[in-house]
Amino acid sequence: MTENEYEDEEAAEEFKIASFVDMVRDCSRIGIPYSSQGHLQIFDMFVVEKWPIVQAFALEGIGGDGFFTMKYELQDVSLSLWNVYSKMDPMSLESLLSEDLVAFEHQWTSFFANFDTEIPFLLELSESQAGEPFRSYFSHGMISSHITENSPNRQPFVLFGNHSTRENLNAGNFNFPSEGHLVRSTGPNGSFAKHMVVQCVSPKGPLACSRTYFFGATHIPYLGDENKLPKKTEQIRLLSQVYAAVIEAVLSGIACYAKTSSLTKAKEVAEQTLGSGLDSFELMQFKAALRSKMAFHIHAVNNQGRIVPLDSEDSLYFVKTACMTVYDIPDLLGGRGCLGSVVFSESFLTSQILVKEKDGTVTTETSFIVLTAAIPRFCSWLVEDNEVKLSEKTQQAVKGDACFLGTFLTGGEGAYLYSSNPHSWPEEGKVHFFSSGLLFSHRHHGSVILSKDHMNSISFYDGVFSPWQQQANSGLSLKVIQEDGLSVEQKRLHSNAQKLFSVLSHSAREKQSPLKLLPAKLPELDWFLQHFTVSSISREPVMRTHLPVLLQQAEINPTHRVENDKVIISIVTGLPGCHASELCAFLVTLHKEYGRWMVYRQIMDSSECFHAAHFQRYLSSVLEAQLNRSARQSAYIRKKTRLLVVLQGYTDVIDVIQALQTHPDSNVKSSFTIGAITVCMEPLSCYMEHRFLFPKCLDQCSQGLVSNVVFTSHTTEQRHPLLVQLQSLIRAANPTAAFILAENGIVTRNEDIELILSENSFSSPQMLRSRYLMYPGWYEGKFDAGSVFPLMVQICVWFGRPLEKTRFMAKCKAIQSSIKPSPFSGNIYHILGKVKFSDSERAMEVCHNTLANSLSIVPVLEGPSPPPDSRTTPQDSNGQQECYLVFIGCSLKEESVKDWLRQSAKQKPQRKALKTRGMLTQQEIRNIHVKRHLDPLPAGYFYNGTQFVNFFGDKTDFHPLMDQFMNDYVEEANREIEKYNRELEQQEYHDLFEQKP
């Protein structure tokens, strides 16, 4: 119902109620989503009975008579629906990325804002103040939620220094009670904290991540000589090195889990990676002590933020969080006490595609995306004046003072420093070039100096820095390279940096959707979305050869042509009466010279619209005929062979595709290839009632299968409302289909004909991707096209005697006025077939469309021009009953259809009944009197010119012998009737469906 279709509000309400009644008419049990998500309530069917739409169900004349809850068995399906909603699919992932993740990242932005303060104010910051954004975000979001998750993994926290012990981290309830835990006092022996551990948790979603950040420089800038680190800096450096190893361990554990779905294997890999990381930082002697304090876990979280068992069947479709914690790290550099803990976790989503190899085995292709990767994994703040002074000292050279970096060349411009380290992200600062190195200054990390003495080579992607290149004996190789000279890792870094630059270059006034900005923060997102879209459809495996195209890793060469020995199948389909046959005849007649044509039409003497076994046998016979042709004929038939499959019925095109894909003979399957699939649409014949489409109407236009939609009526009137409305509907179902206007199936543009006869439409990458997304398992016949609703019955009746053309036309035209509304029982919508009429010996092809009230009667053409009919039936073989009609409608019965058709044939004359005096009509009596009123009068009567008078003076208007005259009339009439009946009994009459002798 369109917005303005019912100006009368009452009529609109009645339509809504009537639609509801129709929807539940044939149901016995009805599922009710009684409880909203996260708010489970006790199911009460009497509450359902009070719903307005349910109360209206009992309205007389509209509703279903009686109480809804007494007529139907009701069932609460809330929990089942929640389970479906909890799984991640492409739509929910888009919502997570564009809404939840944006809000989640905003909390981190607010968190970092708390640390943008000057020394010594940073030292006075408390855990409560720092964690306020996380606490508010979580607690406010949980106010309206009934989730009672109290796991430490799903709680926010901010803990400074040695307050981040195992006991504090496992408390299970982080409410930030203390204002007394300050940066200044939570370090060893009451010194300032060297680090903090933080965690943010989405209150009603699956996102969560934890980080470890540092207070103070984790390095001392290189000043021309090796400097001994003070103890406090060594403590920070130790923590940062452990943290770096933990990051690597978590990321490797995520990668392992995505590939194996095994928590045990992921934990083993994470522990091994942690050990390797500690070795790389020369912390081998501390490895055993640290690994004993390590904990690694992965937990799955549904879309409502509830932890679910990792080994559950549905866990594959949930966001997961991987976390590693190294608890209570002792001062391994000789001090006493505990430095606190190091924590790192990421939320990630996995994608798994089952792939069928050439040998039939099934393997898995996996991918994953770390959803929280854009949250900075490493950050530090300078908290002591001497650190700031040290950083400032390195910048004296910028002012022209002599220093170990040599002569100042240029710089001071904003730049991003980006390394291949997985826990780094482009850091914004200022870069300065010197004759002996680089200086990068950052407001948090201080100065980073890259001396030429510590470089082996340097490559410039843009421009030439000649002062470096001209220095002789510098020991440094300077190369200027083009894009194709970049390594794989350099290309990745450059691509990520370029995406970030594109985002930053947009004006603040330009509004960019979050999904467009995300690839700059999550460089792997585009690839993962391709993978996840395919994996989310079903657990049916995909073909290995198709996988690169599905993931857009490779494209099929558009100039690829079908091998000459393959038969190209062009499919034309549509609902009955859509003029598909006319389009077929037009194509064959117009393009005979393009190659050899064969035409297959579905058999009509079956209750099925499409008979897969019959189609497969036909393909086998075609291939056998080709192989058996003599060598003498081969030169003649070298033209490309084409098969035109014409379907008119309530069937899915996917059934035809699967019939070919699942052909039992592999030689037959490999000998045919599908070209373009075209569906014909007759706008007047698309709606059964109101805006209720005929079954399979939109299914026949499906994306991934159908490349062309041909509209076969209302094409001459520009922008006809019905045509425009239908085109809009089909465009929503198939955005990529080409629209072709062909009145009555006659195509007028050459480019449209080329589209219909295209050889590569079905095999194009775009169609292949869409087909896999919409029809999982189609290539193995595993996709179920679904039932036809309302059920359309197809009844084929055969007969061998002619019809009366006038009677047949009148009865066809009268069907439209007898069409009944839902449930449409007894409605005849289409009549088509081949008949003979009594006024001619020529066979005629008829097609009647009830809703369009159109009847086509055309001669069945002889010769090679029309498409040959593939139908072979017993009725044709013996010359009997060569006529047939197919009736298509709802709840049709064969006897009823035959009775209807008998009335279109010559009717058997009925015996006439003998007359009696009482059966004479007044008109007959007057006629008798007019004929015999001048007969002689009996004695005693005379005629006075006006009336008959006897000797008593009695007068009458009728002849005195009128009774005798009527008896004579009846006797004469009965003699004629008896003669007629005798002659009728001698005549031979045959029923329409009686076979000829």
Q: How far apart are CA 902 and CA 896, in angstroms?
A: 10
Fold type of domain 792-861+881-904: Hypothetical Protein Yjia; Chain: A;domain 2 (3.30.1220)
Residue 440, strand partner residues = 431, 448
Note whether 439 and 415 are within 8 A (CB). no
What is the DSSP code string of 53-67? HHHGGG-TTTS-SS-
Start-to-end C-alpha separation, the chain: 57
All residues at 6 or more sequence positions from 853 whose CB lies less than 8 Å from its CB, including other chains: 813, 816
Is residue 792 within a helix (H) or strand (E), and if so which, with residue range?
none
Q: What integer pLDDT is reported at residue 62 of this predicted model?
A: 66
Q: Does the fold of domain 792-861+881-904 match that of domain 90-381?
A: no
* CB count in 10 Å sphere of residue 291: 13
* Alpha carbons within 13 A on the beta-carbon side of 303: 22
> Do 346 and 251 contact (CB within 8 A), yes or no?
yes
Question: How distant, in Å, are the alpha carbons of 626, 844, 865 from that of 588?
Answer: 20, 20, 7
Residue 339: closest CA among 348, 328, 349, 347: 328
Q: What is the DSSP letter of 804?
A: P
Query: Which residues lie closer than 8 Å to 881 by C-beta, 6 or more apart?
Result: 798, 799, 800, 875, 995
Cα distance between residue 836 and residue 860, in whole Å: 10
3-state secondary structure 406-440: CCEEEEEEEEEECCCCCCCCCEEEEEEEECCEEEE
Per run of 10 residues, the mean pLDDT along the chain (length 997 residues) is 60 81 84 80 88 81 72 88 84 90 93 84 90 90 66 87 90 64 89 93 92 83 58 82 94 96 96 92 80 91 86 85 94 78 96 92 94 91 66 56 71 77 74 81 76 75 54 59 73 72 55 58 86 90 91 61 74 92 88 74 73 93 78 52 89 92 92 95 90 91 95 87 93 95 93 92 90 88 86 90 93 94 91 91 91 90 42 45 89 93 84 88 90 88 87 86 90 88 76 73
Distance, CA of 234 to CA of 228 (rounded, Å): 9
User: What secondary structure does DSSP assign to 232-256, as a single string?
Assistant: HHHHHHHHHHHHHHHHHHHHHHHHH
The amino acid at residue 376 is: P
436 Cβ contact list (under 8 Å, min separation 6): 404, 405, 406, 451, 452, 453
Token duo for residue 716: 């001459």
∠ Cα 418 421 426 (to 5°) = 25
What residue has token string 């030429």? Answer: 452
Residue 315 confidence (pLDDT) = 83
Instruction: Quote the distance between the C-alpha of residue 422 and its chain's center.
Output: 35
- Coil, strand, or helix at residue 347? strand
Task: Write the single-letter amino acid at 820.
Answer: K
Q: What are phi and psi of 75, to 5 degrees?
A: -140, 135
- Helix, coil or strand: residue 877: helix
Name every residue whose Cβ is closer than 8 Å to that of residue 970 and which is 6 or more positions away in sequence: 915, 916, 917, 920
Give yes or no for a contact between 368 and 351, defined as CB atoms under 8 angstroms apart.
yes
* CB-CB contact of 586 with 745 (8 Å): yes
User: Around Cβ 903, how many Cβ atoms within 10 Å?
Assistant: 14
Contact between 301 and 154 (Cβ < 8 Å) = yes
DSSP designation for 126:
B
Amino acid, single-letter form, for residue 729: L
**258: which DSSP letter?**
H
Determine what percent of the chain falls in helix, strand and coil, rounding each to the nearest 5: 40, 20, 40
CB-based contacts of 200, cutoff 8 Å, min separation 6: 104, 107, 108, 111, 134, 137, 138, 156, 208, 209, 210, 375
| Nearest partner of 643 among 747, 749, 572, judged by Cα | 572
44 vs 41, 52, 488, 919, 935, CA distance in Å? 9, 16, 62, 71, 94
Residues 6 or more apart whose Cβ sits within 8 Å of residue 599: 584, 588, 643, 644, 645, 646, 867, 868, 869, 870
How far is residue 458's CA from residue 660's CA, in Å, rounded to a whole number? 59
- Strand-pair category, 307-308 with 294-301: antiparallel
Residue whose structure tokens are 């855990």: 127
CA-to-CA dists, residue 555 to 5, 86, 723, 764, angstroms? 46, 35, 35, 9
Q: Tokens at residue 185, please?
A: 């006092």
Class of domain 567-623+639-780: alpha beta
Cis-peptide into 938, omega within 30 deg: no
Q: How many CA atoms lie within 13 A of 21 on its CB side?
A: 21
| Alpha helix stretches (DSSP H) within 537-652 | 547-550, 580-590, 612-628, 631-634
Cα dihedral 929, 935, 940, 945 in deg (nearest 10): 70
How many C-beta atoms surround the C-beta of residue 968 within 10 A? 13
CA distance 295 to 327: 8
Per-residue pLDDT, 273: 94
Separation CA 997–CA 743 (nearest Å)? 44
Place of tokens 């069937």: 651
Q: Is the Cβ–Cβ distance between 881 and 897 less than 8 Å?
A: no
Q: Where are the domains of the chain?
A: 3-86, 90-381, 386-481, 567-623+639-780, 792-861+881-904, 917-986
Counting DSSP H helices and E strands in the chain, the numbers are 32, 34
- How many residues are given for the chain? 997
What is the rounded CA–CA span in Å between residue 755 and residue 676?
A: 7
Phi and psi dihedrals of 689, rounded to 5?
A: -160, 135
CA-CA distance, 190 to 286, in Å (whole number)?
A: 24
Q: How far apart are CA 798 and CA 790, in angstroms?
A: 26
CA distance 617 to 26: 38
Residue 831: strand, helix, or coil:
strand
Distance CA 813, CA 816 (A): 7
Does the domain spanning 90-381 belong to CATH 3.90.230? yes
- CA dihedral of 730, 733, 734, 735, whole degrees rounded to 10: 90
Instruction: List residues bridging with 452 in a β-sheet.
Output: none
The values of phi and psi at residue 779, to 5°, are -75, -10
